[in-house]
Amino acid sequence: AFVLGGCSERGVLEFAMPDASATTHTIWVSNFRSDVQADSRGAPPRPEAFSFEAIDVSVPATHAPGQIEWPDGSPDARTDFVSIGQRQFKTIDTFATDVTRSDQSQLEETLVFVHGYNTRHAEAVYQVAQFVHDFEIPVPPVLFSWPSAGLTIGYVYDRDSALLARDELEETLVSLTRNGRKVVLVGHSMGSYLIMETLRQIALKGSMDIDRDIDSITLMAPDVDGELFREQAMTIGDLPTPFFIMVAEQDGALRISSLLTGRRPRLGAQTDRTIVGDLPITVVDVSDLAIGGEFNHKIATTSPSAIALLRGLAQQGPPGVAPVGALVVLSQLAR
C-alpha cells in the first residue's frame, strides 16, 4: 500500500473560467517549495528560497461539506474546485500588506494554516479553500506550504523538511503580525510539529511576542510525540489561549506514525488530558464524528457531522467572540 500510494497520480492546480454560481475564495500562500514534483525517482529537491502568491479558488455550488471536488477530465467551475486567478508578490512585505488590505471583517486577524505530511501544493491550497468555505472563515486565510514530498513513503523526508521550514514559517508569522494584527494558527498532522518547533524557536530568539501576537492555536490530529510536545510547550512559556488539540483514538495515520517512530504515542491519538497535564489546553475528542475516510486523520475538516456541529456552535456563540467561525468555540466540545 505504501509503494502504490507513493507512485499514484496526484492532484494539481487546474485553471478554468469562473462560473457565476460558484463561490470564490482568495488563498494567500507563503510558498516554501520547489517547482519540481515527486516522481518515480523519489522526493523532489528542496527549495532555496520561498515565494508569495494569492490564488483565487472557485468552489462549486454543488460542493458537499468536507469534500474537495477534483476535476475528472476538463476542469469546470460549475462542478469542480478550480483556480480562476493568481497573483505574485515580490516581497513578503507586499504580501503581508495585501493580506491586511483584503480584510473586510474588521477583526484584524489572519488565519494561518500549516498542512501535514504527504501533502502536495495543490492539495494544500484546495484543502484551505475547503476549510475556509465549510467553516465560513471571515478573515484572510494564509497557507504556509512547506516542502512535503507528497509521498506516502516520504515520512522521514517530510519530518526533516518540517524542521528546514522553521525559519520561513517564523518570518511569515512575524511579517503578518508586524502592524498589530493577530494570527489564528491552525495546523494539521505534521504541520502541528512544524508549528510547535517554530514557536519554540521564536520564544528562544524573542522575534515576536507569542502570547500577544497569536490569538489562538488549533492543532488537528497533531503528529507530535507527547513528551516532545510538553518540552516544546514549556520552552514556549505562556501559551496563547484558547489552545485546542483535536484528537481521535482511531486515527489510523497516527498509528502508522507511531510504528515509524518506535511505537511512541502520538499526541493526536490520545483522548485524555494526561499528556498535556496542567497546560492551559483544551483537548477535543472527535472520535464519535469519524466517517472512516483517509484513516480518520481529517475528521474535523472532512466529516459533515463535525462541520455542521462546529458551525452550529459558532452561530450560538456570543457576537464578536468567533474570529474564525467555529474554531474558537471548540471548548464547548471539550471532554
Instruction: State phi, psi for 136 to the nearest 5 degrees.
Output: 50, 50
In Å, what is the CA distance from 91 to each residue of 54, 173, 271, 295?
Answer: 13, 14, 42, 39
> What whole-number distance in Å separates Cα of residue 106 and Cα of residue 59?
24
Residues of the chain predicted below pLDDT 50: 1-8, 316-335
- 55-89 confidence digits (pLDDT tens): 999 999 999 988 899 999 999 999 999 999 999 99
Q: What is the pLDDT of residue 45?
A: 83
What cell was used for 120? 502536495
Q: What is the pLDDT of residue 8?
A: 36
Q: What is the pLDDT of residue 310?
A: 60
Within 8 A by CB and 6+ apart from 294, the residues are 253, 302
Q: What is the pLDDT of residue 34?
A: 86
> What whole-number distance in Å separates Cα of residue 50 and Cα of residue 31?
5
Q: What is the pLDDT of residue 7?
A: 35
> What whole-number distance in Å separates Cα of residue 131 and Cα of residue 86?
19
Q: What is the pLDDT of residue 141?
A: 95
Q: What is the pLDDT of residue 258?
A: 54
* Biggest alpha carbon–alpha carbon distance for the chain: 53
Residue with cell 482511531: 250
Q: What is the pLDDT of residue 197?
A: 97
Return the beta strands (E) in the chain as ranges.
Answer: 23-31, 51-59, 82-89, 109-114, 141-145, 182-188, 214-220, 243-247, 282-285
Within 8 A by CB and 6+ apart from 325, the residues are 135, 136, 137, 138, 310, 311, 314
Q: What is the pLDDT of residue 38?
A: 63
DSSP-derived 3-state class of residue 83: strand
Angle at 170 between CA 50 and CA 191, to 5 degrees: 85
